[in-house]
Amino acid sequence: MDMIFNIGKSGRKGVTIPAHDIPSVLNIQEKLLRKKKPELPECSELQVIRHFTLLSRKNIGVDSTFYPLGSCTMKYNPKMNEVVAAMPEFSELHPLLPQLRHGGALTQGALAVIYETERLLSEILGFAQFTMQPLAGAHGELTGVMMIAAYHADKNDKKRKIMLIPDSAHGTNPASAAMAGFITKTIKSSNDGGIDINELKTNLNENLAGLMITCPNTLGLFDPKIKEACQLVHDAGGIVYGDGANLNALVGIIKPAELGIDVMHVNLHKTFSTPHGSGGPGSGPVGVVEKLVPYLPISRVVKRDDGTYALEYNYPKSIGYIAPFYGNFAVILRAYAYLLSIGKEGLRRISAFSILNANYIRQKLKAFYHLPYDKTCMHECVFSAEKFLERGIHAVDIAKALIDKGYHPPTICFPLIVKEAIMIEPTETEDKETLDKFINAMIDIWKTINENPDKIKECPLTTPVSRVDETSAARKPITSI
Amino acid sequence: MPYIPHNKEEIEEMLVACGASDLDDLIKQTGVPQANINLNIPPSKSEFEVLEHLKRLGSLNSNNLTYFLGGGYYDHIIPAVVNSVISRSEFYTAYTPYQPEASQGTLQALFEYQSAICRITGMDVSNASLYDGGTALFEAMTMSVRISSRKEVIISKTVSPIFREMIRCYSSNLELSIIEINETEDTKSDINKIIENISENTASVIVQYPNFFGTIEDFSELCEAAKRKGAIPICSVYPICLALLKTPGEMGFDIVTGEGQSLGLPLSFGGPYLGFMAVKEKYMRKMPGRIVGLTKDSKGRDCFTLTLQTREQHIRRENAMSNICSNETLCAIAAIAYLSVLGKEGFVKTAELCHSKAVFLSNLLSEIEGVSITNKDNFFNEFTLKLPCDASEVVSKMIDKGYAAGFPLGRYYPQRKDELLIAVTEKRKREQLKSYVAALEACIWT
């Protein structure tokens, strides 16, 4: 295998660096000098480009193929957003500039982008205020639960340490709650996959800090009991955290705050079209209702009466600094551009068409794949491959077979409450022909499972490598050369 | 309607398949109590109009300043290759590489990134990135608490105040005791004082290299003293300096983190940036974040996969090493593209230019009456200048002359109101350095 470290030749150079226009000096104590130069690649510029271009071709992205990865909202990433993010007027701006004396005047455009995006999100979700600082979804979760901790501490209610989390939740929920010092307690889902109100009631006491819920839930279903659950938690003195991973089903239809959610993160890299970047950078802004506003992180961007924007720090109850500056600004910029282009009319269409696409797939495939919760879904539908186990086929085998059909597979084995789950989220940006072809591919795979399951076990055959041995990788990890 | 492809006939056909009369009816069937809300949002703009709008906003920023402003975030050259690589949509429109057969490109690029980080820092194992330098340092600190089962952390005030504020914020619910040790007057870490404070309760000792004032120090003795008492030495490092300077690995650090913005990422008003973390092998299984490993496919060929995933929240949930899910993969790919195209020579030459120019500037500045370099002869590319007046006032005047002159230290170190932190990168030209000195002299004395 050709690694970047072994394709060059000693002494070969890549990009040219400016020549010295001042005397070259090394004014550093001998004992602090490195004895050997770091062993970095020695390639020509073309070799570097060719290497990474070849690598990119061993990948698939939304631009290459349908990517119905449930819970991840792999919608189209508009190219306009990339143009905006690369504008030197924004990309060359140093984040410490507005912290200099009178520095706010130097960055009015950038501060406006942050402020206006905050206002747009607050309106869409129904919250009093947003912070744009969290650097990813899980980082937003941590910010949100830290604000819950600060709220209870401020009320001198220090016993409130229990965070309730449904068994269907994303794994980041309990991990974030634990990092904020909470003791997590799992509550079982009811038979319809929603919140079990009776089980919730048994946990309502003076130790309750809050409830973390996902709406729609991880089955892609809207839980009609959500309002009641929020009310019960409020009555018991708790705070409701909303995981915004599935917001693509709600924008323009309902404001999450009106359901009773007090604090919620949104993933700009899901609902608001910013690219996933092979696993980041993301952005996870957090919205709050009025009673949690004092605890928002600092700094905050404010708009003064004269129409100018400024940074403010004087919020004594704030949880403090969760990010070095103002969030993943270039990601916020992309989401702002997207929101401007979507506009008022477009927001509802995002959710309406993501719901239409998901239900179309659900209806067309349910004769072939088991649907454990057969209800009208929102933006995604969850099938189960459990019935194929007797033929030796797992959800993972179906995923690998889909790769050979030219698709990125759906999310598998999540949510944990569905055995051998296959979670399909088509998003609103996919056309009907693409969905029909995908449905046919799924039906083809179903036929092969019934006729010749061994063939499925061999997949994928069309990829640069065949099935990967993950077990031995973990036993004796080799993580660098 | 932007980005939604359905025509009228298709909508009809799909609604029939779903058993709904119209979209409102379909939404109602999901059980949502409302189907439409009136939002106070401006109407949709065309692509052209959005770009015009953002160009106008962009023009409201000050875009012609010459930067001598650093503080951990620097204005370095970004070779064109970097953007070319990360603009490949197979990289930027993909998700996390959970399906290794369809993600070998991302996985190999991350493996190469991990290798480069190890080679630069002199460490054994790197993860595949964290959010930024501050969160990476916090993750290192909690890692030390997990490993040692101790609850006390010593951190030198020479560590970036931005990072220290983040650590303070994240630690507020974790029942940890954080001891901050003042810097010496000449901007060094007070190593003796730090060593005095290490006890059997100390989980880790945290320092920065070069420190926030730009000062470089040998921490070998500190690392040894910490380890003798079972505490873990942690260092936050600026990666460019490691082209020339002794590595944290050689000094004896067990965990190294840092802000990777300098490795090919634009300043972008605060992000996205790149947190990196590398550790000694014995701590590999305690490290947070994704890690890519080399393995074999079913036909015995070499390939890559995410490994040691049992540490992560998908499996361990509340007992996970960290809550991080998305990290900064594309930024890590930018970093390996940057390091590859600079290459062994270019990386060293970049560092030499930064250092030489900083020394050149400091020598010129020393000639100004009433001005002195606090960490003279002991810095890499950023140094602290003591002025005969308030530094933030001088910076304010310098802006009118077209310079972001540096960072006034009074904001974080109240006793250093007359000190200015000045950064120099390879982008600054001789003429700019000279005219900066003249401008600064004028601002101080007129």
CB-based contact (8 Å) between A297 and chain B?
yes
Domain ranges of chain A: 82-340, 351-465
For residue A23, is the peptide bond before it cis, meaning its omega torsion is within 30 degrees of 0? no
Residue B266 falls within a domain, yes or no?
A: yes
Reported as a single tens digit per residue, the pLDDT across A267-317 is 999 999 999 999 999 999 999 999 999 999 999 999 999 999 999 999 999
Reported as a single tens digit per residue, the pLDDT across B67-91 is 999 999 999 999 999 999 999 999 9
Residue B86 falls within a domain, yes or no?
A: yes
Does A1 have pLDDT greater than 90?
no
User: pLDDT band for position B381 (50/70/90)?
Assistant: very high
Do residues B28 and B155 share a domain? no
- Percent of chain B predicted with pLDDT > 90: 92
Do residues B225 and B298 share a domain? yes
User: pLDDT band for position B310 (50/70/90)?
Assistant: confident
Instruction: Identify whether the C-beta of residue B172 lies closer than 8 Å to the C-beta of residue A179.
Output: no
Q: Report the C-alpha gap between B107 and B96 in whole angstroms.
A: 9
Residue B265 falls within a domain, yes or no?
A: yes
Q: Which residue has the tokens 């359901």?
A: A259
Average pLDDT, integer, range A127-131: 98
Detail the DSSP E strand segments found in A402-465. Answer: 411-412, 421-424
Do residues B101 and B193 share a domain? yes
Instruction: Identify whether the C-beta of residue B234 lies closer than 8 Å to the C-beta of residue B206.
Output: yes
User: pLDDT band for position B1 (50/70/90)?
Assistant: low
Architecture (CATH level 2) of domain A351-465: Alpha-Beta Complex (3.90)
Do residues B210 and B357 share a domain? no
Average pLDDT, integer, range A453-473: 94
Q: Report the C-alpha gap between A75 and A72 in whole angstroms.
A: 9
CB-based contact (8 Å) between B256 and chain A?
no
Average pLDDT, integer, range B416-427: 98
CB-based contact (8 Å) between A193 and chain B?
no
Domain count, chain B: 3
Reported as a single tens digit per residue, the pLDDT across A98-122 is 999 888 899 999 999 999 999 999 9
Q: Last residue of a domain, which of B291, B312, B338?
A: B338
Residue B2 falls within a domain, yes or no?
A: no
The class level of CATH for A82-340 reads: alpha beta
Instruction: Identify whether the C-beta of residue B355 lies closer than 8 Å to the C-beta of residue B188.
Output: no
Residue B59 falls within a domain, yes or no?
A: no
Reported as a single tens digit per residue, the pLDDT across B7-45 is 999 999 999 999 999 999 999 999 998 767 899 999 999
Helix (H) or strand (E) holding A141: helix A137-154
- Percent of chain A predicted with pLDDT > 90: 95
Q: Last residue of a domain, which of B338, B366, B383?
A: B338
Does B313 have pLDDT greater than 80?
no
Q: Do A138 and B325 touch (CB under 8 A)?
A: yes
Angle at the Cα of A155 from the Cα atoms of A153 and A159, rounded to 5 degrees: 55
Q: Report the C-alpha gap between B383 and A164 in whole angstroms.
A: 50
Do residues B85 and B113 share a domain? yes
CB-based contact (8 Å) between A25 and chain B?
yes
The answer for B 362-391 residues in CB contact with A (under 8 A) is 377-378, 380
Question: Cα distance from A102 to chain B (closest Cα, Å)?
Answer: 7
Residue B61 falls within a domain, yes or no?
A: no
User: pLDDT band for position B326 (50/70/90)?
Assistant: confident
Name the residue range of residue B415's domain.
66-76+345-445
The domain that holds B295 is classified in CATH as 3.40.640.10
Q: Do B104 and A346 touch (CB under 8 A)?
A: no
Average pLDDT, integer, range A388-405: 98
Q: Report the C-alpha gap between A117 and A137 in whole angstroms.
A: 17
Reported as a single tens digit per residue, the pLDDT across B44-69 is 999 999 999 999 999 999 888 999 99
CB-based contact (8 Å) between A413 and chain B?
no
Average pLDDT over chain A reads 96
How far, rounded to the nearest angstrom, does the alpha carbon of residue B316 sit from its chain's CA centroid?
27
A105: chain B residues, CB-CB within 8 Å: 62
Do residues B144 and B192 share a domain? yes
Do residues B147 and B260 share a domain? yes
Angle at the Cα of A69 from the Cα atoms of B32 and A355, rounded to 5 degrees: 25
Average pLDDT, integer, range A399-422: 96
Do residues B331 and B400 share a domain? no
Do residues B180 and B219 share a domain? yes
Q: Do A15 and B341 touch (CB under 8 A)?
A: yes
- CA dihedral B171→B173→B174→B180, nearest 10 degrees, is 30
For residue B272, is the peptide bond before it cis, meaning its omega torsion is within 30 degrees of 0? yes
CB-based contact (8 Å) between B245 and chain A?
yes
Q: Report the C-alpha gap between A263 and A270 in whole angstroms.
A: 18
Do residues B199 and B332 share a domain? yes
Average pLDDT, integer, range A146-174: 94
pLDDT at position B316: 75
DSSP, collapsed to helix, strand or coil, labels residue A216 as coil
The domain that holds B375 is classified in CATH as 3.90.1150.10
Reported as a single tens digit per residue, the pLDDT across A319-328 is 999 999 999 9
Do residues B290 and B203 share a domain? yes
Q: Do A278 and B92 touch (CB under 8 A)?
A: yes
Do residues B375 and B234 share a domain? no
Residue B1 falls within a domain, yes or no?
A: no
Q: Report the C-alpha gap between A385 and A402 in whole angstroms.
A: 14
